[in-house]
Amino acid sequence: MQAWVIGNWKQNPATSHDVNALMDDLLTAVTAEESTRAGTAKHCQLMIAPSCIHMAAASARLQGSSVLCAAQDISAHSATTGAYTGDCSAQQVTDAGAIWTLIGHSERRQYHQESHDLLVQKLDNGLKQNLGIVLCIGETQAQYDAEQTFDVLDEQLAVIKELLEQQANQQSGQQSAAPSDVAVTLSERLIIAYEPVWAIGTGKVPTVAEVSATHKYIKQTISSFAAPLSTVSVLYGGSVNADNADSFAADSMIDGALVGGASLKAESFLAIAEAFNRAKT
């Protein structure tokens, strides 16, 4: 299975000049690595998620490279246009060069009080514009300490079940289970990123065994919604760096990484990608 390493730049870098410098470093290193590899298979797909303001410039620089571009978020209110001050729609980020979008990042849930219903709308809007969706889920420290991780994940993953039911109802006009074609389409456009909130930007990480067991649970849960979802990749995010990437990459349940801080330096980002590339041969 192909691995994914996705860089979430969040509200960084500060200026267009700094974005260009990061893109220079990234593209120089990717081009050099690809010419060394010449003909040998690559097992890791790279993607970056710049902030909306830098999306068009970053995606223009990525033209002709193997690196994909994602948005960090999309509007829940409209997939296209409308009176939603401050929002960027799925159509607008697609027009700016995004192929995928993150949704449900814990920072959106925490600082913007993103609800379950809002995320169902975002999922729907993204799919309407043919975007791939990286759905971020994960428990807080208090929930982890109270051993509520799987309960929290059940609630957060329920947006997928609801979306499947909604789409099935739209297609069939009846209250029935999701037809397999809807689930097949979703399976091709969905990635889950498991990110324990307490591991994001803290330097604290769960053990690989814990992540592996949690990913197994996520895979089983989404497969129970619809069999085609058994092929969906599940990435780990939370303080992944060049030093610990090998250990995560070696586990068969971990299909890649969503990387925050370490994605802001080409060297550490590409070292993480290389760890997954080596491990997933």
Contacts of 209 (CB under 8 A, 6+ apart): none
Closest CA to 160 of 140, 189, 198: 189
Kindly tell me which residue out of 23, 52, 157, 259 binds ligand PEP, with binding defined by CB under 6 A.
259
Question: Which span (15-23, 85-93, 175-183, 255-263) binds ligand PEP, by CB under 6 A?
Answer: 255-263
- Is 195 noted as a catalytic residue in this protein? yes
Taking the CA of residue 155 as centre, how many other CA atoms within 13 Å lie in the half-sphere pointing to its CB? 11
Q: How far is Cα 245 from Cα 229, in angstroms, rounded to an integer?
A: 26
Smaller CB distance to ligand PEP: residue 35 or 113? 113
Question: Which span (33-41, 66-74, 162-170, 238-246) binds ligand PEP, by CB under 6 A?
Answer: 238-246
How many amino acids of this chain bind ligand PEP (CB under 6 A)?
Answer: 13
201 binds ligand PEP (CB under 6 A): yes
Provide the minimum distance between the beta carbon of 151 and ligand PEP in the complex, in angstroms, as a whole number. Answer: 22
Provide the minimum distance between the beta carbon of 3 and ligand PEP in the complex, in angstroms, as a whole number. Answer: 16
- Is 114 noted as a catalytic residue in this protein? no
Q: How far is Cα 226 from Cα 22, in angstroms, rounded to an integer?
A: 40
138 binds ligand PEP (CB under 6 A): no
Kindly tell me which residue out of 119, 258, 270, 272 binds ligand PEP, with binding defined by CB under 6 A.
258
Q: Which of 54, 105, 107, 139 is catalytic?
A: 105
Cis-peptide, bond into residue 50, ω within 30° of zero: no
187-213: burial string, b at 16+ Cβ within 10 Å, e else: bebbbbbbbbbbbbeeeebbebeebbe
Question: Which span (13-21, 82-90, 144-152, 234-242) binds ligand PEP, by CB under 6 A?
Answer: 234-242
Kindly tell me which residue out of 237, 254, 256, 268 binds ligand PEP, with binding defined by CB under 6 A.
237
Q: Which of 54, 139, 195, 215 is catalytic?
A: 195
Structure tokens at 61: 């620089």
The answer to whether 245 touches 268, Cβ cutoff 8 Å, is: no
Residue of this chain nearest to ligand PEP (CB atom):
260
| Residues forming the active site | 105, 195
Rule CB under 6 A: which residues touch ligand PEP?
8, 195, 200-201, 237-240, 258-262
